[in-house]
Structure 1
Amino acid sequence: MISLASGYGNFAVPAVALQAATAVLTSAQQRHAPLAVSPIGGLPELREALAARYRQRGARGTTAEQVLVTAGSKAGLFALLTELLEPGADVLMPTPNWFGFYEMVRRAGGQLRTLPLAAADNYALHPEALRAALTPATRLLIISNPNNPTGRVYSQEEWAAVLAVTQDFPELWVLSDEIYEGICFGPEPVPTLLAQPNPHGRHVVVSGFSKSLALAGWSVGCLVAPLELARAVEARLFSTVPPATVLAQAAALAATQHAEAISAALCAQLSQTRPVLLAGLAALPGAPALVAPEGTYYVFADFTRFLDPALPAALASAQAVQQLAAGGVEVVDGATCGAPGFARLSYAVPETELRQALARMQEVFAPLAV
């Protein structure tokens, strides 16, 4: 089996991060002392480094007190959702989107509604569609930028158009998942929600270090929220989860201080496999035109032409994924992201494996072509 389904890349741990973590271990060994335990909100120096980086990206008012470092991004995200959402709270999410949000919102007590976007216009989030989907009772809008699974990057102008709508809903919180912000192949850096006008003080960003900064497995994430909300989430974290380890935070601090260089190196590595996957998908039978995604290390491939028309869309999508698995290729079923008939494929894999996976996909799909 060759897996193109993993959300983690085949990236070496950055040398600066390893050196920083090693220094922490060496110090503990030399002092014959245990590792220190971090405050629940994170080491002050890491919180300040993250705040400084957001200020450099245009979020000029961001302070270290607004930043929380968490034991993985999911822990922080779930604490945030449980703090924001009352039972039955209305949550709106444009789809396709990361499959994890569905269950997380449910477990936090919310009721998730989707706003389906179309591949035909490259998943544009039209302001008029957003306005029609929002209600005065909607508590939270979730947007991923760059988007997982589509790789779509929403520009500064698109953010402005979205926020021109949300500002008319003063009780609405806007949450931007920006964990892939450093993996970008477009002409401009990925804009952060924190740099946008925030008249009601209800913008929140969640992020982490496992994607753009190659710290998969270190279990360290972060979120940035208005001060009152940040303090409430911090209190919830204190009551429910341990802090991120000082070892992981030392690595995260070094990665933050060298973020641009690390992300640039990852993009250079991915630039070798990205065209291989795009070309391989274009060579499949009946391949539709594909807009190359600007962000993440995924392509959200349209396989609807290979589905069994006699089955419901979700079942047909699952069947296609099972056929690929039987042929030796594991992918993420787009139905889990709100788009049956599509599949999320990662190109953050060795090139030899990717080429073999594409050859196997040809073998699976060629007999199904109409």
Structure 2
Amino acid sequence: MIFADRQSRLGTESAFTVLARAGALAAEGRDIINLGIGQPDFQTPPHVVEAGIKALRDGHHGYTPANGIPVLREAVAADLHRRHGVEVNPDNVVIVPGGKPTMFFAVMMFGQPGTEILYPDPGFPIYESVIRYSGATAVPLPLSEDTGFAFSAESLLAKITPRTQLIIINSPANPTGGVTPRAEIDALVAGLADHPHVAVLSDEIYSQMLYEGREHVSLLQYPEIRDRLIVLDGWSKTYAMTGWRLGYAVWPDRAVEGATRLAINDHSCVNASAQYAGLAALTGSQDAVQEMMTRFDQRRRVIVKALNDLPGVRCADPAGAFYAFPNITGTGLTSRAAQDRILTEAGVATIAGTAFGQHGEGFLRLSYANSTDNILDAIHRIRAIL
């Protein structure tokens, strides 16, 4: 077999590799605490599950429109208006199986040899992977611990060239938990007026996961860039629906038809029962979301304090999402060495910062989507190694 050259440029997501290694160790009888995988440890709210079951019992077994059932797209538009005070045409909403298809569609729509795409580093690894797969040049935007891993509009704008076709931003961010303040987003939007050829993909999948009263600033609130803005969001994190594979994006008028064509070519449509479950999530009680975030906040405080008590480790408070991203340079270990030793010797799954880009060296990502008891046990085991 002779594969296309682009296949060698496709990366991966190390969290799943670590998950497999942790599973293999557990199968050997090892006691493993998983702080690696990025998914809530809560169950999908019962009324959402029942809606999915009811859809199947009601006979929703066939194809749906490629861009999603109309009632769900209308509910997405209504939810965005409720949360962000913006008007969204349901015709600009495309329902997809999770968050990654939107990343893939956006990058493949704008990326090709001779173009550049900017992405956060450290950042979600699929950004860089798909950019390289498209043939475009992946241009990292370094994020700093000094700014709480918020991006700098000045630094981002300085990296734009005539070859730049797309910039990717993510706030609240994976893996850092960083949240970019409104002032920086204001400055970015203002600066983009000088670069009308550049499209923006705003990954807002953690938009409802913030702490200490912080606000989420959606780029949908800036009408001056709506004609070149793609906003990614979905159900996986907010409603603990990772396995349902359900997400959406709001596309600008000129791109929504292309995104729908990509959906047709890629997956035809999202399964019907998941869409009806997503409808119940948006239109039903939000109590489970608030309860989950209360628990996450409690765990956040526990894990940050415990990490800061470890020798050679310092950890800033994550402002959003459910990840701690401690600096481990004081331990003398590289990120990968720390990840491997902590898993094999302590039985704790974490993810090396370098899994999220070259600027993640010296850091680890720990998900606090686990019980407080397990978190404290995990840190105790890590302390024994350090």
Structure 2 length-normalised TM: 0.87
3-state SS, counterpart of residue 160 of structure 1: helix
In structure 2, the residue matched to 1:292 is 317
Q: Deviations over 1:163-207 (max 9, x none)?
A: 122221100011111111111113133121111232471111112
**Equivalent residues of 2:227, 2:254 under 8 A apart:** no
In structure 2, the residue matched to 1:324 is 342
Q: How far apart are the structure 2 equivalents of 1:236 and 1:126?
A: 32
Query: Pairwise mapping of residues 131-280 of structure 1 onto structure 2 (< 5 A)?
Result: 131-199=157-225, 201-258=227-284, 260-280=286-306
3-state SS, counterpart of residue 325 of structure 2: strand
Partner letter of residue 168 of structure 2? Answer: I
The structural deviation recorded for 1:273 is: 1.7
**Equivalent residues of 2:244, 2:274 under 8 A apart:** yes
Q: How far apart are the structure 2 equivalents of 1:103 and 1:261?
A: 37
**Equivalent residues of 2:311, 2:331 under 8 A apart:** no
In structure 2, the residue matched to 1:307 is 332
Flag the 1:293–1:210 CA change in 2: closer, same or farther, 3 A: same
Q: How far apart are the structure 1 equivalents of 2:286 and 2:162?
A: 40
In structure 2, the residue matched to 1:353 is 374
Query: Does residue 1:27 correspond to 2:45, yes or no?
Result: no
Q: How far apart are the structure 1 equivalents of 2:312 and 2:271?
A: 50
**Equivalent residues of 2:51, 2:277 under 8 A apart:** yes
Partner letter of residue 333 of structure 1? Answer: A
Q: How far apart are the structure 2 equivalents of 1:167 and 1:265?
A: 41
**Equivalent residues of 2:172, 2:321 under 8 A apart:** yes
Q: How far apart are the structure 2 equivalents of 1:78 and 1:206?
A: 11
The structural deviation recorded for 1:56 is: 2.4
Flag the 1:133–1:21 CA change in 2: closer, same or farther, 3 A: same
**Structure 1 residues without counterparts, runs of 5 or longer:** 29-33, 309-315, 366-370
Poorly superposed stretches of 4+, deviation over 4 Å: none
Q: How far apart are the structure 2 equivalents of 1:82 and 1:265?
A: 38
**Equivalent residues of 1:82, 1:109 under 8 A apart:** no
- C-alpha RMSD over aligned residues: 1.7
Q: Deviations over 1:304-336 (max 9, x none)?
A: 11235xxxxxxx321121111122111111012
**Equivalent residues of 1:57, 1:195 under 8 A apart:** no
Q: Deviations over 1:43-68 (max 9, x none)?
A: 10110111111222335331001100
In structure 2, the residue matched to 1:364 is 385
Count residues in correspondence: 352
Q: Deviations over 1:122-170 (max 9, x none)?
A: 2242333222211122111111010101111122222101212222110
**Equivalent residues of 1:91, 1:110 under 8 A apart:** yes
Q: How far apart are the structure 2 equivalents of 1:123 and 1:189?
A: 16
Q: How far apart are the structure 2 equivalents of 1:132 and 1:276?
A: 38
In structure 2, the residue matched to 1:313 is none
The structural deviation recorded for 1:71 is: 1.7
In structure 2, the residue matched to 1:340 is 361
Query: Does residue 1:9 correspond to 2:40, yes or no?
Result: yes
1:60 to 86, 110, 114: 86
Structure 1 length-normalised TM: 0.90
Q: How far apart are the structure 1 equivalents of 2:264 and 2:71?
A: 19
In structure 1, the residue matched to 2:4 is none
Q: How far apart are the structure 2 equivalents of 1:41 and 1:171?
A: 26
% identical equivalent positions: 30
**Structure 2 residues without counterparts, runs of 5 or longer:** 1-31
**Equivalent residues of 1:78, 1:108 under 8 A apart:** no
3-state SS, counterpart of residue 302 of structure 1: coil
Q: How far apart are the structure 2 equivalents of 1:122 and 1:183?
A: 16
